A and B are shown apart, each in its own frame.
Chain A
Amino acid sequence: MQPPARRIKSDLEKAQTRAGYLFVLPSFALYAVFVLAPVIVTFVLSFTYYDPMGGSQWVGLDNFQRFFTGDRSLQIFWNTLCFAIFAVAGNVTVGLLLALALNRAMPSFLLYLFRLAYFLPVIIAAAFVSIVWGYFYGDDLGVINYYLIRLGFAPVHWLTSSRTAMMSIIIMDIWKNAGFFMIIFIAALQGVPKAIMDAATMDEPSYWRRFFRIVLPWISPVVFFAIVYASIGALQVYESIVILTQGGPGDATRSMSIHIVEEAFGSFEIGYGASVSVIMTLVILIITSVQLLASRRWVRY
């Protein structure tokens, strides 16, 4: 015979189990339908030639081979990496510099205004600000070129030359996103204990040497996090390029996301599009794990 206390407990456990599954169900069901299942299907599709009319075929690694041997797709791959490297470096560096500049005593209304100015671009859709920047970057009627000419400089083909277009997009990206990293770094800088800063000020009078020897190592976990986070976002770059250059001139600014949409939904190369998105996911996973491993090695916690 079971002691009554035990039976009550197991009833309670049963009720708790049932409640647990019920509470999790809506979220998990939606997650399974809209994330888990699509990821698996995309993975399977990437090994097929998909044809809704005539039946699909298993083509093994053909789609991947096509991506890694095509001149065009390789350029697109390189464009994406190139954008990611410079956008991440720019965003993290500028964000850190802004944070260092703002991390000092100042009246609170000033702080409010600064956060407003530097953070506003972060929360406005890339699609909206890209349209505005499109007019700023115009060749003949562009706002920037107007002032360049007024100041006696030669106008720049911001978006219409394959040598400068990617750089122009990266500049806009830094304008838009650096404020996010600034906020994260301000929080990190304020986490540096005052005792450590005071001691450091005593035996290291140079601001920059103090920064590299003491402050930067202290906030390095946050810096590594920022780099991973920025890379994941940058590798998916889409709307700013679609709106500013449509991937041009030529293929100079075409990114993997644009390639996926064009191939899968423009030319209905579903299988090939799926394989490009699998490659993109793998790149993201590799970069994330390399950075996490590196941070375990280098970051001083």
Chain B
Amino acid sequence: MKTKAAKRWIDRTIITMMAVLGVFMLLPFAWLFSMSFRPPAEAYKMPPSFLPPTLDFKNYRAVLGSSIPFLRIYWNSVEIAVLVTFGQLVTCTLAAFAFARLNFPGRDSIFFVMLVGLMFPAQVTIIPIYLGFAQVGLLNRPIGLVLMYLTSSFGVFLVRQFMRSQPKALEEAALMDGAGYWKIFYRISLPQLRPALSALGIITFTQTWNYYFQARVLLEPQQSMTLPIAMDLLRGYLASGNLSVVMAAMSMAVLPVILIFLLAQKLVIEGVTMSGIKS
């Protein structure tokens, strides 16, 4: 039998090891922020820095002053992520309310058909979407991506599950009092959903901020790009000796997600984990 002291010693060793490993996990981020403050002339000088050598925002100004429409690209990312997040919250809660609270013929088969969608990768829908967007003039327009991400089977599923775990006595009482379904949804169900919706909103925002595959296919001109695809472009344009400027752009690109994570770590982890537990 191990003694208590031995056990505590093991605990401490493991925690120390995890701390060291944790520092290594964060090194790429430390490097990226520090390099963004290095003078471009010293960008490739060794050793690399993992703490900012100065606090001079010159590289950040260089990104904004470059030939690449960085602000426009940033705005595209913000616009898509915000619209998609709100859109999904609306479409998913509406559908989830119907699936969880209403009785109508075909309800369960419609729900099943929507769940099947979780199995299809983006690769198997991209070709027709590209051809269709070309037909209707949505190619190279951020709004096309917004439309395409505007609902999600996963979101519907998540909110429905949450709603089913809540008591429905209030809704039934309201129905008896003659309230319409819209009113019941808006006044009674929606306020109860707040925890599920904040998790869904945060996870949708970060996911949309990070999407790459479809954006890469559907958005070609620089004016219409989102940040993840533009970073690759920036690397090509600015990198000729200008690593520091690329990292300044990158720091700005990752900032919103890092801020969200620092402020709402619990919600983010909850959201991401829930998005995993869909099956």
List residues of A whose CB falls within 8 A of some B CB. Answer: 13, 15-17, 19-21, 23-24, 26-28, 30-31, 34-39, 41-42, 45, 98, 101-102, 104-106, 110, 112-129, 131-136, 141, 143, 146, 175, 179-180, 183-184, 187, 205, 225, 228-229, 232, 235-236, 238-239, 242-243, 256-257, 260-261, 264-265, 270, 273-274, 277-278, 280-281, 284-285, 288
Scan residues 46-100 of chain B and give those whose CB is less than 8 A from a CB of chain A: 46-48, 90-92, 94-95, 97-99
A24-B95, A127-B228 given; A39·B120 CB < 8 A: yes
Bound state CA distance, A288 and B118, in angstroms?
A: 12
- Asked if B243 and A281 make an inter-chain contact with CB atoms under 8 angstroms apart, the answer reads no
Scan residues 189-218 of chain B and give those whose CB is less than 8 A from a CB of chain A: 206, 209-210, 212-213, 216-217
Bound state CA distance, A39 and B121, in angstroms?
A: 10
Bound state CA distance, A265 and B147, in angstroms?
A: 21
Bound state CA distance, A136 and B48, in angstroms?
A: 10
B6 within 8 A of A: no
Chain B residue at minimum C-beta to C-beta distance from A17: B104
- Asked if B99 and A24 make an inter-chain contact with CB atoms under 8 angstroms apart, the answer reads yes
Q: Which of B131, B151, B212, B243 contacts A31 (CB 8 A)?
A: B151
Q: What is the distance, in angstroms, from A50's C-beta to the closest C-beta of chain B? A: 9
Bound state CA distance, A195 and B121, in angstroms?
A: 42
Q: What is the distance, in angstroms, from B278's C-beta to the closest C-beta of chain A? A: 8
Could you name 13 residue pairs across A and B whose Cβ atoms are closer than 8 Å? A23-B95, A27-B94, A28-B114, A38-B125, A123-B268, A124-B210, A135-B31, A143-B48, A225-B277, A236-B123, A260-B126, A281-B120, A284-B121
Q: Which of B11, B18, B44, B262 contacts A141 (CB 8 A)?
A: B44
Return chain B residues, CB-CB under 8 Å to A270: 127, 131
- Fill in one digit per residue for B243-260: 1 if any A CB lies within 8 Å of its CB, else 0: 100100010011001100
Chain A residue at minimum C-beta to C-beta distance from B229: A127
A124-B257, A132-B32, A184-B276 given; A39·B94 CB < 8 A: no
Bound state CA distance, A31 and B95, in angstroms?
A: 12
Return chain A residues, CB-CB under 8 Å to B276: 180, 184, 225, 229
- Asked if B151 and A27 make an inter-chain contact with CB atoms under 8 angstroms apart, the answer reads yes
Contact residues on B (Cβ < 8 Å of other chain), bracket: 35 or more
A17-B104, A146-B47 given; A38·B273 CB < 8 A: no
Nearest 7 interchain pairs by C-beta: A20-B104, A117-B22, A125-B210, A23-B98, A38-B125, A127-B228, A27-B95
Bound state CA distance, A125 and B230, in angstroms?
A: 13
A183-B272, A273-B127, A281-B120 given; A131·B212 CB < 8 A: no
Bound state CA distance, A105 and B147, in angstroms?
A: 46
A21-B104, A35-B117 given; A238·B22 CB < 8 A: no
B153 within 8 A of A: yes
